[in-house]
Structure 1
Amino acid sequence: MAKIKVALVEDSPVALEILKRLINSSDEAEVVGTAMEGSQALPMIANTKPDVICTDLDMPGMDGLEFTKQVMANYPTPILVVSNAVQPQDVDNIYNLMQAGALDFFPKPTTGNPTDYEKLTKMLVTKLKVLASKKV
């Protein structure tokens, strides 16, 4: 079975590297492109045609909300928002992102603990598999 193609949009080099490692460590998904913010990501999305996009919310330039709106208008693709700003208490952020077309949320990984790493990989890849099966 073909791997799920994932595009990452994240302004933190550390978070970008962690997400890339989590996804690429799975047999079921691979990162096909990365960008540091939304306006850089749009041409990358057009070129790589990912199955799922993971984006941060708070980024300089085009933020995750505006990026989600642009993707849905131009390249409809399932979007997973990976951010510290989508915790259960962040109701407004989550609502606005859902209205814009984001399908799911994942708190940004912060740990270096190897057991957490495996659990995070499993949770993240499960979300990617579910989203990759959705038509938007």
Structure 2
Amino acid sequence: MSKIKVVLIEDSVVALEILQRLINSSEEVEVVGTALDGASGLEIIERTQPDVICTDLQMPGMDGLEFTKEVMKRFPRPVLVISNAVQPTDVDNIYNLMQAGALDFFPKPTTGSATDYERLKHTLVTKIRVLASKKTP
């Protein structure tokens, strides 16, 4: 069975590294491209044709909301927003992102214990696996 291909768009190099490590440590999912901003992200999506796109919300230039709208226009794919601004209390952000086409949300991981790491990895990979099985309009 082929791996689920993921593109990561994240302006924080540290967060990008953590997310990439979490995803690539799974046997079912692999990161096929990364970008530090939305515009570069669109180029990478066109080149790699991923199954799922993971993006931050708060980025310079094209933010995650604008990026999600562009993805849905140009390369409809499941989008998972990974951000500090998608906590359960961030109702407006979540609503706007869902309107734009994002399918799920994941609060950005902070460094923690090994137990946290395994739990984060499991949750993130499960979300990606579920999204990969969804068909976008």
What is the TM-score of this pair, normalised by structure 2?
Answer: 0.98
Q: SS of the counterpart of 1:94?
A: helix
- In structure 1, what is the equivalent of residue 89 of structure 2? 89
- Quote the offset at 1:113 in angstroms: 1.2
Cα separation, 1, equivalents of 2:108 and 2:121:
12
- Mind listing any 5+ residue stretches in structure 2 that lack a counterpart? none
Greater CA drift, 111-120 or 85-94: 111-120
- In structure 2, what is the equivalent of residue 21 of structure 1? 21
Name segments (4+ residues, structure 1) moved above 3 Å.
none
- Mind listing any 5+ residue stretches in structure 1 that lack a counterpart? none
Q: SS of the counterpart of 2:19?
A: helix
Q: SS of the counterpart of 1:34?
A: strand
Q: SS of the counterpart of 2:82?
A: strand
- In structure 1, what is the equivalent of residue 34 of structure 2? 34
- In structure 2, what is the equivalent of residue 135 of structure 1? 135
State the percentage of identical aligned residues. Answer: 74
Q: CA RMSD in A?
A: 0.5
How many residue pairs match? The answer is: 136
Aligned pairs for 1:101-116 (under 5 A) are 101-116=101-116
- Quote the offset at 1:112 in angstroms: 3.1
